[in-house]
Amino acid sequence: MNLADSTARKAKRNIIPWQGYCPTHHLLTKEDVIKVKKLHPKALLLVHPECRPEVCNLANYIGSTRGIIEFAGNNPANEYIIGTELGILHPLKKNNPEKQFFVASEKMICKDMKLITLEKVLSSLQNLEPQIIVPEDIREKSLKALNRMIEIH
């Protein structure tokens, strides 16, 4: 629902959301952000669009993981508060050693992402497992929705 809200604002369209959310991004609250902004008043706030709307409203930039990395690399500011999964800190610091990055919340750890390993990805690609079979009518509707999201972006 948070991603749908963000997309609807950007596209200036009415989107009917599914009433679910990313459990990691939903952990970040407006109060968390305000507390960190007080500690680092010059820092720009960069958040993922799956964060709550009240968090996104405080952001200087809302974007995907790649978008956040590119924004920080291209922007002249030296301090950033990061509102997405903590794993992004490694590439941010590696690509921008002269800049400072602060986490919006220490809670932003995705337990599911931590289960993914290179070995598991390799095995999945080699064995084409696990395999998910979706009924054709659902596949077609899903493809239409995905293509529309890509067009909006």
pLDDT at site 153: 62
pLDDT at site 89: 97
pLDDT at site 9: 85
Residue-wise DSSP of 95-122: H-TTSEEEES-TT---TTGGG--HHHHH
Mean pLDDT of the chain: 93
Q: What is the mean pLDDT of residues 107-124?
A: 93
pLDDT at site 38: 98
Taking only the tens place, the pLDDT of each residue in 123-144 is 999 999 988 899 999 999 999 9
pLDDT at site 17: 85
Confidence grade of residue 2 (pLDDT, cut at 50, 70, 90): confident
Taking only the tens place, the pLDDT of each residue in 35-47 is 999 999 999 999 9
Q: What is the mean pLDDT of residues 97-116?
A: 95
Of the chain, the end-to-end C-alpha distance in Å amounts to 17
> What are the structural domain ranges in the chain?
2-110
CB 103 within 8 A of CB 89: yes
CATH architecture of the domain with residue range 2-110 = 3-Layer(aba) Sandwich (3.40)
